[in-house]
Amino acid sequence: MQEYERKQLLERVEREGATVGADIPETITIQGEEIDLRTFVFEIKRRETVPAGERDRVEQAKRNLRRERIERLEAIEEGDITREEGEELAGSIIGIDRALNALESLGPTDLEREQQAKKAQDRKRWMSFLKKALGQDEGEASRRGR
């Protein structure tokens, strides 16, 4: 592969809108293991949130995808590959990016913890309001000259 072709492929995978319209690959081989990537991503995305039991699996999948992306990018940058192999690698990198975007955009992973935090914030605001209403807010009282 010529150097200018290599640069074009690298530019293509790093382009900001590269994943627009791109499909998540049906399957992908990561570290010698074939994974049904599209099925996995759609199965996780179908839910409102990532269940507690699935969180570790999703995080591990994202780490593996990032690692695979780097390896494939390095193969384009430094590998002794043909133009066709480079095109195939670039397409797979864009597909990996699309899958990562989908997995990264998942909603909150722990609704119970988020709900508790909201309740605590509400309680804090309510107590602050009551203190002010009852004239017990010392900072406010000293500003009024009491």
* DSSP codes of every residue in 26-60: S-EEETTEEE-HHHHHHHHHTSSS--HHHHHHHHH
Residues with Cβ within 8 Å of 39's Cβ and at least 6 positions away in sequence, in order, are none
Residues with Cβ within 8 Å of 85's Cβ and at least 6 positions away in sequence, in order, are 1, 79
| pLDDT tens sequence across 67-121 | 999 999 999 998 899 999 999 999 999 999 999 988 887 755 555 666 777 888 8
pTM over 0.85: no
Residues with Cβ within 8 Å of 86's Cβ and at least 6 positions away in sequence, in order, are 1, 5, 6, 9, 76
